[in-house]
Amino acid sequence: MGCLTAYLLARQGLKVTLLEADAVGSHASGFAFGELGALEGAGIPDPLLDFTLWCFRRHPALAEELQEQCGVDYRFKYCDRLLLAFDDASARAFKEHLTWQRRVKDCTVQWLEPEAVLKVEPRANPRCVGASYLQHSAALEPYQYTLAAIQCAERAGVKTVLRRVTGLLRRGDRCLGVTYQGGQVEAETVVLTTGPWASEASGWCGFNIPVSPLKGQILRLKLEGPSLTHSLHYGGSYMALKPDGLLWAGTTEEQVGFNEEPTRAGRDKIMRDVLTMAPSLAEAQLVQHTACLRPLSADGLPIVGRVPGWRNLYLGTGAGRKGILWSTGMSQGLADLIVHGKSEVPGLAHLNPARFQRE
């Protein structure tokens, strides 16, 4: 969010300083799975289908743009995915979703019976009762994506400073900049894109930012012989073959504060889901186990816009498990609001921070 928003603002001629607390891509932005699931998840289809589809459609052109400018190929590609059902209730729910999903022209969605599932993905569990088959979905590599965004931002004139922000400079309803240990940066506009740490700024700005960390763990598995040809999904978990030659499998949803340590319980939960989706993966070797924190808002939807009570303080966070997909629309929306005072990104009104003030 920070890197891409900085790039979009600098591209329009603004002088931008990006303050990074740790290292670019060292948390969820660099460790996420990277599939762009535009037809399921929080806020989809109501009220964020139009916003989500705008974000999805922006990704391929952005991938070409960033690679052309800085040379980083973050492996954007179209791919297919199977959402497996193992009981009649799940199967009915998937079939009901087909009613609106088939109206989305970007993707092709159909229901497959078990025999057809195995023809599409031989490693899928033959005990499934069927699957929702989504073609023309997409995926990318999040760390390289973040790296491309920061390199293009710096080429456009963005200055990166490795400092942890500790507060805001304020005069009335105007933000004059930010402070950090040992210094400060003055600015005409300030944007907070601090992910799961966004709530730390609540005391600075006098507005409760309802964001908490949602821990997610991922396993990287090495499998001898034929690998998966499609990504498999079941009950919020997933696995897919990645460009590093490993199967990435996840995930967990843990509200345990800012604990980023991988756990045995997380590993075991993911492996249970992996073996439910594809029992033959019992032979896979665990190569790496990671964990990171996503920013989860109180209502599950991202938070994008001007902070209530301020003229020039903006907020972009709260995307939960869909931060990579939604980053294009969230960053473009912020850049538009700052430069033009409005945006043509559809659905942005649903993301206004003021919705929590009203509540």
Per-residue pLDDT of the chain (359 residues; tens, 9 = 90+): 999 999 999 999 999 999 999 989 888 899 999 999 999 999 999 999 999 999 999 999 999 999 999 999 999 999 999 999 999 999 999 999 999 999 999 999 999 999 999 999 999 999 999 999 999 999 999 999 999 999 999 999 999 999 999 999 999 999 999 999 999 999 999 999 999 999 999 999 999 999 999 999 999 999 998 999 999 999 999 999 999 999 999 999 999 999 999 999 999 999 999 999 999 999 999 999 999 999 999 999 999 999 999 999 999 999 999 999 999 999 999 999 999 999 999 999 999 999 998 64
* CATH numbers and ranges of domains, the chain: 2-29+143-210+299-358 (3.50.50.60), 77-139+213-297 (3.30.9.10)
pLDDT for residue 287? 97
The pTM (predicted TM-score) of the whole model is: 0.96
Sequence-distant (6+) residues with CB within 8 A of 54 are: 328, 329, 345, 346, 347
- Token pair for residue 152? 């293009």
Length of the chain: 359
pLDDT for residue 357? 87
Cα 69 from Cα 81, distance rounded (Å): 31
Of 223, 242, 243, 222, which is closest to residue 231 (Cα–Cα)?
A: 242
Helix (H, G, I), strand (E, B) or coil at 318: coil
Phi, psi of 340 (to 5 degrees): -110, -10
User: Measured over all CA atoms, what is the biggest interatomic distance in the chain, rounded to whole angstroms?
Assistant: 67
pLDDT for residue 126? 97
